[in-house]
Amino acid sequence: MIRLGNWNDLDIVRFTDHGAYLDGGDVGEILMPKAYVLDEMRPGDRVSVFVYLDQEERLVATTETPLARVGDFAFLRVTWVNEYGAFLDWGLMKDLFVPFREQKMRMQTGHSYLVHIHIDERTHRIVGSAKLERWLRPATPETYRRGSSVEIIVQQKTPLGLKVIVDNTYSGLVYDNQIFDTPPRTGDRLTGTIINVRPDGKLDVSLQSLGTDRFTDFAGILLEELHNCGGHLPYGDHSPAEEIARRFGVSKKTFKRAVGSLYKEKKSVSRKKASA
């Protein structure tokens, strides 16, 4: 069965002046244009190809790697707009179509938007949608444990913090008090840590690891900073939290715990000002 908008391993059936025809099973032969045919390819060879629809809505195969696949969320740039909708660059010859009904606001050429890629049930075309909530599921307490590492995509800034998409499936939030460095931007892909699964199925996420791992990891970074600065840093227990966050990208609590860890290991001799 062909997975439209995804990678497929298909056998070469024959070659023509147009390229190589691949065995698509029930859907028939699928053309891989000549531009992607290698000299060493032979009938019977199996090739890994991305299958999508060409300008005439025919199945076509390519060895190019797209920026995203069907089922993915992706931050893509609009290349042009017509009377039906917007067309986004997703790394293939044919742009991704986002009809006006799937736009939260009218998309503009040259701007980038976070969209979900899917197959339209009515037209069977690969399309994008900026109405992201429709494609997100609620998490359950069994889905994640506190401290689980996850991959996130930044969706948008809110009054509470950053709304994020977790593991391409769930909705989450990184609270402002968890952001200690330059705030990430829409479309940024980051690693986060689960803090809590809320009753509504949404996830509270931290951009830092939790528990002793966080302090241990930062203690190593702090020790390296001390060595790089000649064994002394002008920060300690009485330094303002804002200065610590600006300099190291961590909370004051994490900083103090790391200093305490180094002090106990006799790698830091003063807790008033970090030094080694």
Q: Cα–Cα distance between 113 and 97 in angstroms, integer?
A: 13
pLDDT at 160: 87
pLDDT at 181: 66
Residue 271: pLDDT over 60:
no
User: Mean pLDDT score of the chain, rounded to an integer?
Assistant: 87
Instruction: Output phi, psi for 215, to 5 deg.
Output: -70, -40
Tell me what the mean pLDDT of segment 26-32 comes to. 96
Cβ within 8 Å of residue 55, ≥6 positions away: 94
pLDDT at 167: 97
Q: How confident is the model at residue 256 (pLDDT cuts 50, 70, 90)?
A: confident
Locus of tokens 């970090």 = 274
Instruction: Output phi, psi for 59, to 5 deg.
Output: -65, 135
| Residue 69: other Cβ atoms inside 10 A | 18
Lowest mean pLDDT among 127-141, 151-165, 198-212, 250-264: 250-264
Q: Cα–Cα distance between 240 and 213 in angstroms, integer?
A: 24
3-class DSSP assignment, residue 68: coil
Note the pLDDT tens digit of each residue in 130-188.
Answer: 999 999 999 998 899 888 899 999 999 998 889 999 999 999 999 887 676 678 899 99
Lowest mean pLDDT among 50-64, 167-181, 201-215: 201-215
On the CB side of 6, CA atoms within 13 Å amount to 11
pLDDT at 222: 67
Say which amino acid occupies 109: T
Note the pLDDT tens digit of each residue in 59-102.
Answer: 999 999 999 999 999 999 999 999 999 999 999 999 999 999 99
Residue 247: pLDDT over 80:
no
Higher pLDDT among residues 212 and 123, named by residue? 123
Note whether 78 and 108 are within 8 A (CB).
Answer: yes
3-class DSSP assignment, residue 216: helix
Q: How confident is the model at residue 220 (pLDDT cuts 50, 70, 90)?
A: low
| Pairing between β-strand 161-166 and β-strand 149-157 as defined by DSSP bridges | antiparallel
Tell me what the mean pLDDT of segment 26-42 comes to. 95
